[in-house]
Chains A and B, each alone.
Chain A
Amino acid sequence: MANALDQLRHWFERAILDNHRLYFSIAQQILRNSADAEDAVQTAACKAWTRLPELTDRDAIVGWVATIVRRAAIDLYRSRREQTSDDATLRLLSPAIHDPPRAEQADDRAAMQALIARLPDAQATVLTLRFYEGLDAPAIARRLGLTDNAVRVRIHRALERLAQYLEPQQEEANP
């Protein structure tokens, strides 16, 4: 038994550490703060270990942990929002006060992060692996234990959903 548990620990630890950049990116998209993103990933990793008996398909572990990371990031985001009630302080911290061009870029990035945060978990994870890790659909499928087609469908659906939000802006830019 001791040997089986050691093997399990090693396998689980590798699943977490080999994908720590993915999990960090997912948390950062929601929290937009590196320290908070790190907290969320650590919390999620510990939670995933205690919930390991719930995992039914070992090949799905990366996506399963990614979902737990997302939930942990959302919980932390909500608790931070409740703590930060001083709107005047928030405005002072905004880059809009100091550098308008950078503020516009920051606004665009934050807007897209907010849109991605609203995607279903599986679509957001696939999108992150595609555009952050630079993986193609077959590689994503192997990482997540899915079929190639399931990954392709998720990528396309995620982009369609995001495009719906951008289309009104596209029409304004190109009347």
Chain B
Amino acid sequence: MSDTEEILNAYIEGIATRADAQALLRRLHLTPQERAQVELTLRLADEITTAVDATPTAGFETRLRQTLQAQMNQTESQIDESTAQRLLNPAPRATGTLQPPDILAASDEDEESET
């Protein structure tokens, strides 16, 4: 993997800054393909950031808490003790059973949204 790719991947993963990624464009020996990749990545990041930006309405957290507490009071009896104990005191993870992370991520491919 080239140094350019490493820095770009680090930016995508949040390890390197946007300034680090932008600085790549000032390199003299960038190939056209590398330049295109850097520009596309920066553009993608900008568009994603704009798309996911959302400001909750004033008082949203308070309303959410109130709604949730009302629901909890209404349905308290539906949560049994075994569920409470299981979630509050989880069993230690089994050792010796390795599941490569890529398999976990690969399972996402079957979940494409219906929108």
List residues of A whose CB falls within 8 A of some B CB: 1, 4-5, 7-9, 11-13, 16-17, 20-21, 24-25, 28-30, 34-35, 37-38, 41-42, 45-46, 49-50, 52-53, 55, 57-59, 70, 74, 77, 108-109, 112-114, 116-124, 127-128, 130-132, 134-137, 139-140, 146-147, 149-157, 159, 162-163, 166-167, 170, 174
Contacts and interface: CB of A to CB of B under 8 A. Distances in A.
Interface string B31-47: 00000100111011101
B111 A157 contact: no
B79 interface: yes
B19 interface: no
Contact of B67 (A34, A42, A131): A42
| Most A C-beta atoms less than 10 A away, residue of B87, B105, B111 | B105
A153 to B, nearest CB: 4
Interface of B: 9, 12-15, 36, 39-41, 43-45, 47-57, 60-61, 63-65, 67-69, 71-72, 75-76, 78-81, 83-85, 87-88, 90, 101-102, 104-105, 108-115
13 contacts: A5-B79, A5-B84, A11-B88, A17-B61, A25-B52, A34-B54, A42-B63, A59-B90, A70-B113, A136-B14, A150-B104, A157-B108, A166-B40
Contacts of B56: 20-21, 24, 34, 38
Contact of B79 (A13, A53, A118, A162): A53
Given A38-B56, A50-B78, A157-B105, A118 B113 contact: yes
Contacts, number: 195
A114 B115 contact: yes
Interface of A is mostly: helix
Contact of B72 (A29, A49, A123): A49
